[in-house]
Amino acid sequence: MSSTAYSQNAGTSDENLIQDLAQAISKLSTTTPNRKPTSQNCVDPTRLWKSQIDRYLPLYPNAGKILSKVKIPSELTDRTRLQQFISSTSITPEGQPFPPQITEIFNRKLWFADQYSGTDKGELVRLGITHILCLGREGYHDKLCPSIPFIEHAVLRVPAAENLYDVPLVGIIDNGVSFVRSVLALGSEHKILIHCKRGDTWSPSIVIGVLMDRDGCSFDAAYCFVRARRRNVLLHEMVVKGVQQWWTLEKLRPELPEGRGYRRFKWAVDKEEQ
């Protein structure tokens, strides 16, 4: 056989081999069984939105229409994170949707947020957060807060809304403000983020206390400052009273007797506001 004929046969043989291989791969891809969607990769947000809409219906009859304006990030496919995104979404007192987000108070030093944004590991690292104050009911921190080696967590348990009239609140405000104060005193390299479920009640109440403590301003001035930066802030009347009681007692703290816990304010909720 001539060298020319040999090269032509070899070329034909290689082409046939490539075609056979391509057909085999095609058959393999078409015969791969289709996987049924699971709860992890198939998420229907409709049911998740329902409970959030029901929560706001007593205040906003058109809650469904308001919340329908919120756009879920296209990259959010994990069911747990999607549920956190929806439960962190709120409605402002003006009737506007308020999606999850982090709110800055002091320049590159103090932030507060809802549960979704406050547990976003990527954002925490990007902002350089070193301390987190988590306010929630029992189990809230354990279920949500990511474990990051260089971030220190502090946890404050708060009562359910239906128990706000029966539980002392002054101690919660005092402990929260004291923790933030201690972090701010460490220097510019230490940064703190405070978060609660929707970032509308507990975390802003601590921020308001911090502003009053740092600047000596009134509750109304601190409240307006915070709400101008986060429009969904709406404190429960008993939380407002708790912050005001704490501030009255904070100014009296140096005059209170030492010992017996008089300067720790746990007893103060039973006293009449001055």
Contact 169, 268 (CB under 8 A): no
Q: What is the pLDDT of residue 172?
A: 94
- Which part of the chain is CATH 3.90.190.10? 102-270
Contact 92, 98 (CB under 8 A): yes
Q: What is the pLDDT of residue 64?
A: 95
CA-to-CA separations, 206 to 112, 145, 164, 193, 261, in angstroms, rounded: 9, 19, 16, 11, 22
Q: What is the pLDDT of residue 256?
A: 72
Spatial separation of the C-alpha atoms in residues 74 and 77, rounded to whole Å? 8
Q: Which of 48, 118, 121 is nearest to 83 (CA)?
A: 48
Spatial separation of the C-alpha atoms in residues 117 and 105, rounded to whole Å? 15
Q: What are phi and psi of 55, to 5 degrees?
A: -65, -35
State the amino acid at position 42 in one-letter form. Answer: C
Q: What is the pLDDT of residue 43?
A: 64
Structure tokens at 122: 């990527």
For the domain covering 102-270, report its CATH number.
Answer: 3.90.190.10
Structure tokens at 269: 């909720």
Q: Is the pTM of this model over 0.85?
A: no
Q: What is the pLDDT of residue 261?
A: 52
Spatial separation of the C-alpha atoms in residues 19 and 144, rounded to whole Å? 53
Taking only the tens of pLDDT, the chain with its 274 residues reads: 554 444 445 455 556 655 654 554 454 444 444 444 444 455 678 888 998 999 999 999 999 999 999 999 988 888 889 999 999 999 999 999 999 999 999 888 999 999 999 999 999 999 999 999 999 988 777 777 777 888 999 999 999 988 999 988 999 999 999 999 999 999 989 999 999 999 999 999 999 999 999 999 999 999 999 999 999 999 999 999 999 999 998 888 877 776 555 555 554 434 333 3
Q: What is the pLDDT of residue 7?
A: 46
What's the sign of the alpha-carbon dihedral 8, 14, 17, 23? negative
